[in-house]
Amino acid sequence: MIKAVRGTRDLLPPETAVWNFVESAVRDVFRAYNFQEIRTPIFESTELFARGVGEETDIVSKEMYTWLDPPHVYEVLLRELTSADKEGRPPIVRPEFLESLGSRQSLTLRPEATAGIVRAYIEHKLWDRGLNKLYCIGPMFRRERPQKGRYRQFYQIDAEVIGPTSAGSDSPARDAELLEMLATLLDRLGIADWNLELNSVGCPNDRAAFNDALRKALEPVVGKMCADCQRRAVTNPLRVFDCKVPEDQPIIQTLPRISQFLDEGCRKHFEAVQEILKAVGVPFVLNDRLVRGLDYYTRTAFEFTHGALGAQNAILGGGRYDGLSEALGGPAAPGIGFAIGEDRLVMSLQESTTADSVVRKPDVYVAPLGAGMNVEAARLARELRRHDLVVDLGDETFRLKKSFEMATKAGAKYILIVGENEVKADAFALKNLATGEQVSIPRAELARRIKIQE
Ligand code: HAM
């Protein structure tokens, strides 16, 4: 038997109804803040993520699904090397083929959405169209070790605010607006007990001073740390904070914090964000160890956690990335955004919102009874569906007992019998499956009657 690949999974009904419930609440809330949807490709050139997310991050250095395109190049090469040509001459590799080898492109399944959205912003000059609040919902791919709440194909709900400084995109008001929107969304979904952790990771100036201090602090101790940290200490010391090796944690605890290195501008910006959050009543805690796992962050960085999720408790994460557009060859365009892990959001929701409470079961199961009745039943079902009723339809070969079983399994409220007598009388037996009450209803009255009884 062929099974779903490790780290991937099928989302089945009725749980998919919860996903739809989440996505429709998200779309409503985002609309109220003037966000519009963007859909970018699932795969992009590898360079986008290497430059955007950062070579030294775990995501880029360990977790990406990357391949050379065309992917079948090795099979073709083998054929070229082993088969004689039409004239029977010994195998040679054609120059055209060698050329095509040189033009192969490295492609990657997107591990996150921000880099792709910023690429699209630059490619389509979205600033000219005044598009600066964008969101996207879809699958992302990371080759992580699967566990509860962590998959290799997972879903993100991602939102970004990006634009020229003249549009206010670097203002602390944007940071606060985004965080307030998230609080509103989580509250609206009925997710209690969330916790907002907030930090500022500063700007490139602060980062240079911080990196120097980190290198200095690491120098005498890095020999005792894991191989990854030894490399990071040289290439990108900030990434030492991503280390999960238990033995390294006591050393990491003693390292300097970015909060000690913020310049005046960054400090003021961060204070202004906090001031608005307090004014609008969004609770947060400061955490100056929060550096996030992607290199593009500047200034505000944040995560929302949820207690019930266990080890993978970050329900969403995000922050500001004022230099990303320029790093990708675009104009200066400060930005801030977040991505919600939809799999985790749905998990934390399941305590309060069950699939049963959001799924819409059939209002009525139409049961054709006897030969020739499929035609009549199809007609009736079509009429009822036009009245916005959810209608499930049986088959004339089913005996009455089987139709009842099918209707009950489907969770229908009513079963509607369509037999020869009913068709002749143009009135149909409608039975309430919960109460057992059965009445004969004229065709013209059916939809209204089924609705009234809801
Ligand atoms: P991230 O922290 O890497 O940020 O991912 C955001 C969220 O996606 C996480 O908090 C988690 O809920 C979810 N997530 C990540 N990996 C997995 C996984 N393997 N399985 C299940 N859920 C996962 C970003 O991706 C940034 N692009 C966010 C951002 C947008 N920053 C600015 N704009």
Q: How far is the CA of 47 from the centre of ligand 1 (A)?
A: 20
**Ligand 1 atom at minimum distance from 142 CA:** 19
In a 3-state reduction of DSSP, which class is residue 157? strand
Whole-angstrom distance, CA of residue 35 vs CA of residue 31? 5
Q: Which of 112, 158, 242 to mutate to test the pocket of ligand 1 (most atoms within 8 A of CB)?
A: 112
**Ligand 1 atom at minimum distance from 316 CA:** 10
73 backbone dihedrals φ, ψ, rounded to 5°: -60, -35
Q: How far from 426 is each of 106, 397, 430, 440, CA to CA, in Å? A: 66, 21, 13, 10
**Could you tell me which CATH number the domain at 360-453 has?**
3.40.50.800
Shortest-distance Cα residue to atom 1 of ligand 1: 317
Task: Tell which residue, 315, 311, 313, 289, has the closest CA to residue 301.
Answer: 289
pLDDT value, residue 102: 72
- Tens of pLDDT, residue by residue, the chain (454 residues): 999 999 999 999 999 999 999 999 999 999 999 999 999 999 999 999 999 999 989 999 999 999 988 877 777 777 777 776 777 776 666 777 777 777 789 999 999 999 999 999 999 999 999 999 999 999 999 999 999 999 999 999 999 999 999 999 999 999 999 999 999 999 999 998 899 999 999 999 999 999 999 999 999 999 999 999 999 999 889 989 988 899 999 999 999 999 999 999 999 999 999 999 999 999 999 999 898 999 999 999 999 998 777 777 899 999 999 999 999 999 999 999 999 999 999 998 877 778 888 888 999 999 999 999 999 999 999 999 999 999 999 999 999 999 999 999 999 999 999 999 999 999 999 999 999 999 999 999 999 999 985 4
Q: How far is the CA of 369 from the centre of ligand 1 (A)?
A: 53
CB-CB neighbours of 125 under 10 Å: 11
pLDDT value, residue 95: 72
pLDDT value, residue 96: 73
In a 3-state reduction of DSSP, which class is residue 117? helix
Q: Which of 198, 290, 316 to mutate to test the pocket of ligand 1 (most atoms within 8 A of CB)?
A: 316
**What is the CATH topology of the domain spanning 15-44+111-203+263-349?**
BirA Bifunctional Protein; domain 2 (3.30.930)
pLDDT value, residue 322: 97
Q: How far is the CA of 318 from the centre of ligand 1 (A)?
A: 8
Q: How far is the CA of 172 from the centre of ligand 1 (A)?
A: 22
Q: How far from 181 is each of 29, 138, 320, CA to CA, in Å? A: 8, 20, 16
Q: What single-letter DSSP state applies at residue 321? A: -
186: burial class by Cβ within 10 Å (0-12, 13-18, 19+)? Answer: buried
pLDDT value, residue 444: 95
Q: Does 141 contact ligand 1 (Cβ within 6 A)?
A: no
Q: What single-letter DSSP state applies at residue 306? A: E
Tokens found for residue 87: 């004239």
Q: Which of 344, 347, 349 to mutate to test the pocket of ligand 1 (most atoms within 8 A of CB)?
A: 344
What does pTM read for this prediction?
0.91
Asked if residues 382 and 410 have their Cβ atoms less than 8 Å apart, the reply is no
- The edge-to-edge listing of strands for the beta sheet with 36-37 is 36-37, 133-141, 153-162, 335-341, 314-320, 298-306, 194-200, 285-286
pLDDT value, residue 422: 96
8 backbone dihedrals φ, ψ, rounded to 5°: -115, 160
pLDDT value, residue 350: 78
- Angle (CA) 382-388-393 rounded to 5° is 40
pLDDT value, residue 356: 80
Q: How far is the CA of 269 from the centre of ligand 1 (A)?
A: 24
Every domain of the chain and the residues it spans: 15-44+111-203+263-349, 360-453
Q: Are strands 66-69 and 194-200 parallel, antiparallel or unpaired?
A: unpaired
Whole-angstrom distance, CA of residue 385 vs CA of residue 391? 6
Whole-angstrom distance, CA of residue 265 vs CA of residue 298? 12
Shortest-distance Cα residue to atom 15 of ligand 1: 341
